[in-house]
Amino acid sequence: MANEPHSPSAQAHPALPISRLRESFTGRVIEPHDPGYDEARAVFMGGIDARPAVILRAANAEDVARAVEFARESGLELAVRGGGHSAAGHSTVEGGVVLDLRGMKALDVDVEARTAWAEAGLTAGEYTEATGAHGLATGFGDTGSVGIGGITLGGGIGYLVRKHGLTVDSLLAAEVVTADGQLLYADEEHHPDLFWALRGGGGNFGVVTRFKFRLHPVDAVVGGVLLLPATPGVIAGFIAEAEAAPEELSAIVNVMPAPPLPFVPAEHHGKLVVMALMAYAGDAEAGERALAPFRRLAPPLADLLRPMRYPELYPPEEEGYRPTAVARTMFLDAVDRGVAETVLEHLRSSTAAVRVAQLRVLGGAMARVSAGATAFAHRGRRVMANVAAFYGPHDRAEQEAWVKGFAAALRQGDGGAYVNFLGDEGAERVRAAYPGPTWERLVAVKRRYDPGNLFRRNQNIPPRG
């Protein structure tokens, strides 16, 4: 497929029975009676056990167009699956059509121009490993198995957010199959309204088949895990140091019971700790200086910070890991000692074996982009907070109530929401992800490109608001 702007109409395909669809589909058509169906329908999150009528594992953009037309003309609900990490279960659908992009993993890296065309079936880890071979990177999140499509379309907040901004700040163009079966090229000059909406508005406007990303020179970083005792002073001090740190440093702070990992001293297992995931994207000596204040907050319980290749920040995924958790996301304006005490109080009150309050300091390059430049409008927020509890077979309601109470206790003014971390929380929470005029503008774009709301299995923006 050419890299130049184009928007050809896909050839019209009449509504086809699945048997006929097999004849025109290059990729795999998987029905419930086919071998591998149960494996193909499984998603990352536990507790989600949908049985689609058909799974269409596309091989190319033409397959995507056929799948979209099949869903539209059959009336079956359509789910689009990349990495399958949707906490709301949007990566699959009961009795409908799953368009599975995992067969589309082509990656074309232009080292000289520092750009990459990436098909939507790639994971963040696969992309990062491949571009890392050239000492280049695009910032995604903190989990390698997440699909690049979902995280990009929602914004993308990860280890490079303060140095290089959100994932969408590195998005240069996209190729998109829209609800009418057209393949459109979108960038700042071609379909600029669609391109604006794709940068934070989620999967509401079509199926992105390829992304063109800017690559940044990120070879070695100084990073890893720093484990500290969880006290109000350490938590508040950590956030203060992270805000004052050079923009090269991004940190993800998890206040949680210490897991029984090999590097955690046995006497601390199950006790509340600050487990910080840190990355300094710059010179190693400068990185050590930037990390020193964090090490001085308290004697570290474990210090795994070291120079490493950037892709090493994505550890191998645990085979068969399917977590069951309830969570809430919001933005905070400050994390002082009082907030830290609230965090510890609620974590101590939980009965969940695994519960966490995650704090991510923002700012830097992310904050220098204007709120209206992309559909991700939370540019001025200082800290993103996420609270979560893992549940078992019989205590989901209890953990859900705890998470809601914890989130309410942390809320500061208009808490907002990060769309990539929303679960199945209702229309009001989706609206909170798009403050001010962003919502009305997204509705207008939705009305233009998907007036029938074919792409509704997502954090939905209805075409009529």
Query: Cα angle vertex 246, ends 243, 251, to 5°?
Result: 55
Query: What is the residue-wise DSSP string for 189-239?
Result: SSSHHHHHHHTTSTTSS-EEEEEEEE-EE--EEEEEEEEEE--HHHHHHHH
* pLDDT for position 190: 98
Q: Which domains does the chain have, with CATH numbers?
A: 18-100 (3.30.43.10), 107-217+437-449 (3.30.465.10), 220-427 (3.40.462.20)
Q: Is the pLDDT of residue 40 over 90?
A: yes
* pLDDT for position 370: 97
**DSSP structural state of residue 33:** T
Q: Is the pLDDT of residue 329 over 60?
A: yes
7-30 tens-digit pLDDT: 333 333 344 578 888 999 999 999
290-300 tens-digit pLDDT: 999 999 999 99
Mean pLDDT to the nearest integer, 132-144: 97
Mean pLDDT to the nearest integer, 91-118: 98
Instruction: Map residue 109 onto helix, strand or coil.
Output: strand
408-435 tens-digit pLDDT: 999 999 999 999 999 999 999 999 999 9
* pLDDT for position 17: 76
* pLDDT for position 138: 98
Mean pLDDT to the nearest integer, 312-322: 87
* pLDDT for position 316: 85
List beta partners, residue 384.
Answer: 331, 360
What's the burial of 192, exposed, middle or buried (CB within 10 Å: 0-12/13-18/19+)?
A: exposed
Mean pLDDT of the chain: 95
173-198 tens-digit pLDDT: 999 999 999 999 999 999 999 999 99
What percent of the chain stands above pLDDT 90? Answer: 93
* pLDDT for position 12: 38
Q: Is the pLDDT of residue 6 over 70?
A: no
* pLDDT for position 320: 82
Spatial distance between the Cα atoms of 42 and 29, rounded to a whole number of angstroms: 16
Which segments within 348-382 are labelled E, that is strand?
355-361
* pLDDT for position 465: 67
Q: Torsion-angle region of residue 233: left (phi > 0), alpha (psi -120 to 50) or beta? A: alpha
* pLDDT for position 317: 80
Total Cβ atoms within 10 A of residue 228: 24
The CA–CA distances, whole Å, from 123 to 46, 155, 204, 343 equal 19, 15, 20, 32
Mean pLDDT to the nearest integer, 101-108: 98
